[in-house]
Amino acid sequence: MNIHSRSYGHPDAVSLSAQVQAEYRKRFGYDDFTDLHPAHFDPPQGLFLVAYDAGAPVACGGWRAQERDDEGYADGDAELKRMFVVERARGRGLARRILTALEESARDAGRTRMVLETGVHLPEAIGLYEADGYRPTPPFGPFRAYDDSRFYAKSLVPRGASGS
């Protein structure tokens, strides 16, 4: 398995994003309508990763910078988006590898907190995030009024660093 940085507009990222939207429709009955653009994931204000198995794209995830606004984000936030692993590649630790790489990238870019929204119909995602130290946080973003949404955050400030 190889993980590569890709533009959110790259054909492999587009294909995986379409697959995750199909998964959301199956599990929730609607798409993730978050306004996303390829530029949101351009370094240093974001990053989008795609994992490959024998040349085929099998997993993805990204983060984009956020700042304090009326949707509940805070200064220094990095928002996790489009974490997904195709069914045939699940159970091999790809999501954890991508999550770790995204956290490191966001920390290196000066982001202080990773935030994410997921849903009650994605128990495997909730399990991953909670096992990796994410804790419930107040709602933010476009799904903040949805009862089936769950919101998590994790500090990116290294322990013992100023401000922790």
Give pLDDT, residue 29: 82
Instruction: Report DSSP letters for the chain, one per residue.
Output: -EEEE--TTSHHHHHHHHHHHHHHHHHHSS-------GGGGSTTSEEEEEEEETTEEEEEEEEEEE-S-TTS--TTEEEEEEEEE-GGGTTSSHHHHHHHHHHHHHHHTT--EEEEEEETT-HHHHHHHHHTT-EE----STTTT-TTEEEEEEE-SPTTSTT-
Please give the pLDDT value at position 164: 45
Q: For residue 161, what pLDDT is reported?
A: 66
Residues in the chain predicted with pLDDT less than 50, given as ranges, are 164
Give the pLDDT confidence score for residue 36 in this predicted structure: 87
Q: Are 51 and 98 within 8 A, CB to CB?
A: yes
Give pLDDT, residue 32: 79
Instruction: State whether the Cα torsion 135-8-68-140 is positive or negative.
Output: negative
Kindly report the CATH number that applies to the domain delimited by 2-155.
3.40.630.30
